[in-house]
């Protein structure tokens, strides 16, 4: 280097190039400032350059990149938009602008720009990955997965696409597939803390709790304030019986104060312990945390507990049928307070809910396809069903003493009674043993029918099937193994005909089931129900579930398998059957004198044994 250069002097041609009055000079001074890490100074020089030469697309692109690095998202987006105005076929500008628009909450616009970029050059793996991200934001999960797979075909070493595809498999509860994909991604990017966190969640879903905990701790070693693995670690510790799960939820909330999953998990823990005010407040994060259906937007405000006199309230469904039965326990209170109530329900529940809430207008939920982004309903206020308890069940004293809130069709109840009369012993017991949503993560909460030997072996009991999926082969095996019949109603669709199922359930003396919609329906009808499984947040700090006065709960004790709870149910059932036999022997006439003699309605399905 010449002495003059070392002394800070420039040659004549350099002086011209670095002249701030010239666009080229301002641009070079901006580049120099950027190399020195002076981003704000660089932005000022780049702005001078485009003022001097507004049509210079490369400078607009450099300005946009500098604004993005400085966190000035709107200015970056405006600069990239100028690049596209000057050069519409600039694929890099299209992709960068799409990323910014997605971050600003405009995924539809991002998808359009990314598709334009791919029309220019379909071989860009990174663009396909970004397209998958934007499609996922729109809920188009199938198309998103296809975009990530295309990225991997173009570049098998695309760690982000592998991680995204693994995360999608995790969200679908396909945990084993997710684990394979995520381990491939981590082999390419072993220092990627967030990927370790996603892997931890997948491992937890598989029940590989020790591996999940190790993956969480690896993620936190790389990024101690990462909220997702802190949440997963809390859940893993909780499932392993640890006492300090709340500490991890609190750390997640402290690391990211608005983190929805941290708040949601903390809310469930508070509800389970009986801290209802705090619990309900954090339970409201369930949509943002991905633990409920899609949150919906309306042209009317959400009800926040203010007086409802003279107001029309729209209550919309958000979760599964079992949750719908539970939250429906609040509907009568809302109806008493409001000037009018419109209730949305799962279409299969429409007749049952319309009969049970005659003072409300009951509508079937419309398909997601075709719904407006902002919905309009003829009401003053709206609320998701799961938010009603926050304002109507602030304490255990707010749970009403009523025994039921759903009422079956009396004509169908009589038909079912006529079918059941004359069969079996002194106690009629409906049984179900699993949920419709049987993920690997949830399997620990259920027992197959083959493990029900202690219950099915109780003498003097007539068992009636209430399991609503394809279970005929299981029932046949259980009948052969335990030597006891399990009755079914022919042509009764237990999955879709809730009117028929409710009428059948109302005629039973008892229902035994785990955490599924069968138990929730029985409790909502006021039928005695014995629910077995681990404690959950719906106990609200008590030894029973206060929603259901007719329900008893049987929990495995610390260190016991779930079968131990079923064993205690068998012992209780044996005592109940003995009492029923004594009562039947002492009472004159038939066991149920109010019921007519057995007569099958000509149009009604008949009972059958397997």
Phi-psi region of 290 (alpha: psi -120 to 50; beta: other; left: phi over 0): left
d(CA 127, CA 437): 35
Backbone phi, then psi, for 480, in 5-degree steps? Answer: -65, -40
Q: Tokens 């309230």 correspond to what residue?
A: 313
Q: Is residue 409 a contact partner of residue 499, using CB atoms and an 8 Å limit?
A: yes
Beta-carbon neighbour count of residue 239 at 10 Å?
A: 16
d(CA 253, CA 238): 17
Q: Tokens 């219950």 correspond to what residue?
A: 455
No. of H helices and E strands in the chain?
28, 13
pLDDT of residue 513: 97
The model's pLDDT over 349-385, given as tens digits with 9 standing for 90+, comes to 999 999 999 999 999 998 877 788 899 999 999 999 9
Strand partners, 551: 529
d(CA 299, CA 302): 9
Topology of the domain comprising 297-398: Rossmann fold (3.40.50)
Degrees to nearest 5, angle at CA 349 with 343 and 354: 50
Extents of the domains making up the chain: 297-398, 410-608
pLDDT of residue 103: 86
What is the H or E stretch that residue 607 is in?
strand 607-608
Q: Is residue 609 a contact partner of residue 464, using CB atoms and an 8 Å limit?
A: no
pLDDT of residue 13: 42
The stretches in the chain having pLDDT less than 70 are: 1-20, 424-425, 436-444, 585-610
pLDDT of residue 593: 31
d(CA 458, CA 577): 8
pLDDT of residue 604: 38
Domain 297-398 and domain 410-608, same fold? Reply is: yes
Of the options 3.40.50.2300, 3.40.50.2000, 1.10.3720.10, 2.30.40.10, the CATH number for the domain spanning 410-608: 3.40.50.2000
Can you list the alpha helix ranges (DSSP code H) found in 338-484? 350-356, 388-392, 410-420, 453-456, 472-482
Phi-psi region of 600 (alpha: psi -120 to 50; beta: other; left: phi over 0): beta
């Amino acid at each position: 280097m010449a002495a003059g250069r070392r002394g800070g002097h420039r040659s004549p041609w350099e002086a011209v190039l670095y002249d701030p009055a010239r666009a080229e000079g301002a641009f070079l001074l901006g580049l120099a400032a950027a190399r020195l890490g002076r981003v704000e100074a660089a932005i000022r020089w780049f702005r001078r350059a485009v003022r001097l030469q507004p049509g210079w697309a490369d400078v607009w692109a450099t300005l946009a990149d500098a604004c993005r690095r400085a966190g000035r998202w709107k200015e970056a987006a405006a600069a990239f938009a100028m690049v596209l105005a000057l050069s519409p076929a600039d694929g890099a500008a299209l992709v960068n602008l799409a990323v910014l628009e997605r971050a600003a909450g405009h995924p539809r616009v991002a998808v359009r720009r990314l598709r334009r970029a791919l029309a220019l050059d379909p071989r860009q793996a990174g663009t396909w990955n970004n397209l998958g991200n934007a499609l996922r934001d729109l809920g188009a999960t199938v198309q998103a997965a296809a975009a990530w797979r295309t990225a991997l075909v173009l570049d098998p070493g695309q760690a982000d696409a592998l991680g995204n595809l693994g995360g999608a498999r995790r969200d679908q509860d396909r945990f084993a597939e997710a684990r394979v994909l995520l381990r491939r991604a981590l082999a390419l990017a072993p220092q990627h803390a967030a990927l370790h966190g996603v892997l931890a969640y997948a491992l937890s879903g598989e029940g590989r709790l020790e591996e999940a905990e190790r993956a969480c701790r690896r993620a936190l070693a790389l990024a101690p304030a990462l909220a997702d693995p802190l949440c997963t670690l809390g859940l893993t510790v909780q499932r392993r019986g640890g006492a300090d799960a709340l500490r991890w939820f609190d750390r997640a909330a402290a690391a990211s104060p608005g983190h929805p999953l941290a708040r949601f998990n903390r809310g469930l823990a508070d509800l389970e312990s009986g801290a209802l005010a705090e619990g309900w407040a954090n339970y409201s994060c369930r949509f943002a945390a991905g633990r409920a259906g899609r949150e919906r937007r309306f042209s009317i405000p959400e009800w926040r507990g203010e007086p409802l006199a003279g107001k029309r309230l729209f209550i919309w469904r958000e979760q599964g049928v079992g949750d719908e039965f539970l939250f429906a326990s609040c509907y009568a209170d809302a109806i008493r307070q409001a000037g009018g109530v419109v209730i949305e329900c799962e279409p299969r529940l429409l007749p049952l809910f319309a009969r049970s809430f005659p003072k409300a207008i009951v509508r079937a939920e419309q398909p997601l396809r075709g719904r407006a982004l902002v919905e309009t309903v003829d009401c003053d206020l709206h609320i998701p069903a799961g938010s009603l308890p926050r304002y109507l069940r602030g304490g255990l004293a707010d749970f009403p003493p009523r025994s039921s809130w759903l009422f079956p069709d009396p004509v169908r109840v009589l038909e079912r009674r006529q079918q059941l009369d004359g069969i079996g012993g002194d106690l009629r017991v409906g049984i179900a043993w699993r949920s419709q949503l049987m993920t690997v993560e949830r399997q620990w909460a259920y027992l197959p029918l083959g493990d029900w030997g202690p219950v099915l072996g109780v003498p003097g009991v007539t068992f009636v099937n209430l399991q609503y999926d394809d279970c005929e082969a299981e029932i046949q095996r259980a009948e052969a193994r335990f030597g006891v019949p399990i009755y079914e109603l022919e042509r009764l669709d237990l999955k879709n005909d809730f009117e028929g199922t409710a009428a059948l359930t109302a005629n039973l003396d008892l229902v035994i089931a785990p955490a599924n919609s069968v138990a929730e329906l029985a409790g909502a009808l006021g039928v005695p129900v014995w629910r077995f499984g681990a404690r959950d947040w719906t106990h609200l700090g008590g030894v029973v579930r206060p929603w259901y006065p007719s329900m008893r709960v049987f929990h495995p004790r610390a260190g016991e398998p779930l079968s131990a709870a079923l064993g205690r149910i068998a012992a209780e059932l044996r005592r109940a059957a003995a009492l029923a036999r004594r009562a039947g022997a002492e009472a004159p006439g038939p066991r149920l004198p109010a019921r007519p003699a057995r007569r099958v309605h000509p149009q009604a399905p008949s009972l059958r044994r397997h």
